[in-house]
Each structure stands twice: as C-alpha cells, then as structure tokens.
Amino acid sequence: MSVRSRIGVGLVGFGTVGTGVARGLLQRSRILRHSAGSRIVLRRVCDQDFRRSRGLRLPAGLATTDPAKILRDPDIQIVVELIGGIEPAKTFIKEALRRGKHVVTANKALLAEASQELFTEARKANVELGFEASVGGGIPILKALREGLLANHLDAILGIVNGTSNYILTQMREKSLSFHEALLEAKRHGYAERNPTLDISGTDAAHKLVILTLLGFGRQVRLSDIHIEGISALSNADIEYADELGYCIKPLAIAKEVDHELEVRVHPTLLAKSHLLANVDGVYNGIYVHGDLVGAQLFYGRGAGQNPTASAVLSDIADIARRLAQGAVRTFRIGYPNQRILRLRRMDAIESRYYMRFQVIDKPGVLARIAGVLGRHHISIASVHQKERRFARVVPVVMMTHDAKEANVRRALAAIDRMGVVKSHTVAIRTEAPRVK
C-alpha cells in the first residue's frame, strides 16, 4: 500500500449532510490534516441538481452531475456517499469499492439491508468502509463499541436513536400536545421529514439497531428479526399516568442478552425516571451500553442534523486518511461474537414488567374479573390505579405487573378485550430496568 501525503475525496449527494461535509473539508483542512497526517482535498462534488442554494459556494470545477467523474478519478481515494436510500446508492458504493476506493457513508437503511454484501466487496478490494454517521449522528458510538469497549462482553445496548420520535414524545409530555400536534411541531422545526414514516414507525431505529447489534454483539440480524412498534398509538393519557407512577415513555431500540439468547426489539418503553436514559429528551439521542468490565455507560448527543452528522463523516474520512498516510488499511471486522448467545429470542418469549391501561365500565366486580384473567395467564399485579372515578361511565384502570411473559400478556389481553365491560383496546407498554451488576 502506497503511503500518501495528499488524499483526494469525492462526495456524492450534496444535500443536508453533504453540504456540512463539503463545508468541513473546505474550512477545516488544518484540523483534519493534524489528525490525518496528510492533506485531505475535496476534489469533486456530485449531485443531480446544483440550482438549489445550500449556503455554501463550491470552488470552481468541483461540481458535477456525473458520478463517473468521481469513480474514474485516480486522484480520489475516498468516496463519500450521502445520497441516502437503497438505489442507486448501493450500486454506486459497490462500484467505488471494486475500483479500490475507500467509502464513507451515513446510509443506515442501506447498511441494515446489505451490510454483508458491502463488507465482502470492501474486504475483496482491501479497502475500508466507514459508517460512523449511520448511528447516533455526531455521537461516536460505533468507534466506542469497536475500539473503546473492545475488551468487554456486552450484555445490553439500549438506544434512543431516533430524534424525531424522541422529540414528539417529549413535546407530548411537556406541552400536553397530541401525537399529531407534536408531529406538526417537529415538522415546523425541521426535526421531521415531510414523510416521517420511517421515523415514527420505528423502522429507522431498527436500521440502527441492526448496526449496533453487529458491532456490539458480533451478530448479523435482519430487519425482519426485529420486533418493531412505532409511537403513533401512544396517547397523552398514558404519558401522564406513566409520569404519575414515576416513569417516562421513551422510543427505545433494545439489543440485550438474556439467558443465552439475544433480544432485538424497537418499541415505546417505560423507563423509571432514575434510568440513565430518562433525561434524554427532545431531538437528542442517548445510547446506554452495559459491558462486563465497564458496567453502565451513556453516550449522549445530537443524533442528526447537518453539523453533528458531518462531524462523524469527517472523522471517518480523517481516520481512513491517517491509515492511508501510514500505509495501514484496516478492513472491517464485525464485533467479537458474544459466545454466550446461542440464538435470537422469539418475541413471544421475552419477559418484562408491563404497564396496562384498561378502559372499563365503572361497576363493582370488574377489577376482580380482569385480575382473574391475568392470574390465569400467570401475570401477577404489582399495583392498581383507578383514575377519574367521578361520574364517568367508562374509567381508565392502570396496572403495573411483575415480570410476565409476552405470550401470556397477549393471550390475557385478547381475552380481556373480549369482555363486555372493557370498552376499548387495552394499552400495554413494556418497561425496562437498568442492569444492576
């Protein structure tokens, strides 16, 4: 591998993140050079349309609409893909890798779907694929998992990794907005895309969980292995009742080892207000990691946005440039496969304490009937809270359970929801407690 003192970068996708990366490469050359030990030069920027103003003037001759100008340029060693989506990003990255170029991307959707394919190409070509910006925006969580925590056996990664969902739930709690009002607010502030489906459905968080599981547990899980629930069904009532009981509701991506099995799931979760993640509010991300040597750690920061995401992309570029300057390319290795994990745990088999809200007719004996059904399904009740009795005919009854099996909870709630005195679909939200080891 030749040792280089000048590294050429080609950028495809001059959008939100691409503009931040171009600005960083043009305006932070000294700090990058200090870290990389070589000059990093932005040689080309490709986008399909340059008419839109980005608030950044590119030096003459850099802009192109032809990606081949990047792929075929022998003076470009690092290609940065910031188009997003599956195609043409995938074809473009594979072509760059095949041509012996190192690639940096923030494309979590693509990595969740095709990481093995891309790693194989990178390995064959003996080049690097950097993707720090794909999880947690500006938080260097992947570097922490790959380097800082490498001697640990991890048993839990719990992440608030979607800022849009977290912002919406925070607004619902702090301002008593409905889900739809909070979503509009997120759009107004530019925290939600015009089509926010990937964010609020939990899919974006699941993309990131695939990547976290790969690095933290050395396991390649598919998106279809992950149980995914979004936040759109949450009501203000549940957020309020949870608050009264000492909890907050957070959109959590969970990968954890339980009895030699790995659980991977994304869903709104009740966290005690004392949990390290409980104060991760607004658009912020927080990733809680538990390792056998370090214990609990929390990584916190801005999980998206032009500058935070560009910060992670620039760090990958500088890392690769440094290794190129030293002639020491490092091809990707997944995290050390946790030997204790034998298989993925089926969702039916997970155990959790549950928050349950029943909407029932207010008459004697109803609680006893519900408790009876729960008992027959091996679910024991930790506490019962009856709300707003006054003169309403239908009242909410909130229960916290002790640890119960998901399959039992589903069966019990199906039976309870068939009872004539239960007037709407019962809400059940899982809880997560901190690891105490």
User: Token digits for 342?
Assistant: 């034998």
Task: Give me the amino acid identity at 274.
Answer: S
- Residue in 108, 208, 250, 256 annotated catalytic: 208
Residue partners of 162: CB distance under 8 A and separation at least 6: 199, 202, 204, 205, 208, 251, 253, 285, 303
Stretch that binds ligand NAP, among 15-23, 140-148, 222-230, 383-391 (CB under 6 A): 15-23
Q: Looking at beta carbons only, is 48 or 178 nearer to ligand NAP? A: 48
Work out how close the CB of 252 gets to ligand NAP at its nearest, in angstroms, rounded to a whole number.
19
Distance separating alpha carbons of residues 132 and 308, to the nearest angstrom = 11
Q: Which of 16, 220, 232, 236 binds ligand NAP (CB under 6 A)?
A: 16
Stretch that binds ligand NAP, among 82-90, 235-243, 254-262, 414-422 (CB under 6 A): 82-90
Query: Strand 129-130's sheet: what is its strand order?
Result: 63-64, 39-46, 6-12, 78-81, 102-105, 129-130
Q: Which among 216, 214, 248 has a CA at the least distance from the CA of 111?
A: 214
Q: Concatenate the DSSP letters of all residues of 16-59 into one string.
A: HHHHHHHHHHHH-HHHHHHHHSSEEEEEEEE-S---S--S-PPP
**Any contact of residue 21 with ligand NAP (CB under 6 A)?**
no
Q: Is the dihedral of CA 63, 65, 66, 71 positive or negative?
A: positive
Q: Looking at beta carbons only, is 10 or 291 nearer to ligand NAP? A: 10
Name residues contacting ligand NAP, limited to 278-297 (CB under 6 A). none
- The enclosing H or E element of 8 equals strand 6-12
**Any contact of residue 133 with ligand NAP (CB under 6 A)?**
yes
Q: Looking at beta carbons only, is 32 or 106 nearer to ligand NAP? A: 106
Q: Which of 7, 9, 11, 17 binds ligand NAP (CB under 6 A)?
A: 17
**Any contact of residue 251 with ligand NAP (CB under 6 A)?**
no
CA dihedral 430, 303, 117, 224 (to 10 degrees): 20
Q: Which of 107, 162, 203, 426 binds ligand NAP (CB under 6 A)?
A: 107
Residues in the chain: 437
Work out how close the CB of 271 gets to ligand NAP at its nearest, in angstroms, rounded to a whole number.
24
Q: Which of 8, 10, 13, 335 binds ligand NAP (CB under 6 A)?
A: 13
**Any contact of residue 14 with ligand NAP (CB under 6 A)?**
yes
Q: Do 415 and 373 meet the contact criterion of CB atoms below 8 Å apart? A: yes
Distance separating alpha carbons of residues 333 and 339, to the nearest angstrom = 16
Distance separating alpha carbons of residues 356 and 300, to the nearest angstrom = 30
Work out how close the CB of 227 gets to ligand NAP at its nearest, in angstroms, rounded to a whole number.
22
Q: Looking at beta carbons only, is 81 or 238 nearer to ligand NAP? A: 81
Name residues contacting ligand NAP, limited to 294-323 (CB under 6 A). 304-305, 309
246-280: b (≥16 Cβ within 10 Å) or e:
ebbbbbbbbbbbeeebbbbbbbbbbbeeebebbeb
Question: Whose structure tokens read 């997120």?
Answer: 186
**Any contact of residue 139 with ligand NAP (CB under 6 A)?**
no
Stretch that binds ligand NAP, among 14-22, 183-191, 208-216, 279-287 (CB under 6 A): 14-22
Q: Which residue is nearest to ligand NAP (CB)?
A: 15
Total binding residues toward ligand NAP, as defined by CB under 6 A: 23
Q: Looking at beta carbons only, is 164 or 431 nearer to ligand NAP? A: 164
Residue partners of 64: CB distance under 8 A and separation at least 6: 44, 45, 46, 70
Q: Looking at beta carbons only, is 18 or 130 nearer to ligand NAP? A: 18
Q: Which of 1, 27, 88, 331 binds ligand NAP (CB under 6 A)?
A: 88
Q: Is the dihedral of CA 201, 262, 216, 275 positive or negative?
A: positive
Task: Give me the amino acid identity at 126.
Answer: N
Work out how close the CB of 87 gets to ligand NAP at its nearest, in angstroms, rounded to a whole number.
9
Active site residue 208: yes
Work out how close the CB of 301 gets to ligand NAP at its nearest, in angstroms, rounded to a whole number.
12
Q: Which of 45, 83, 321, 428 binds ligand NAP (CB under 6 A)?
A: 83
User: Token digits for 393?
Assistant: 């005919």
Q: Which of 36, 42, 46, 79 binds ligand NAP (CB under 6 A)?
A: 46
The site for ligand NAP (CB under 6 A) is made up of 12-18, 46-49, 82-84, 88, 106-108, 133, 137, 304-305, 309
Catalytic residues: 208
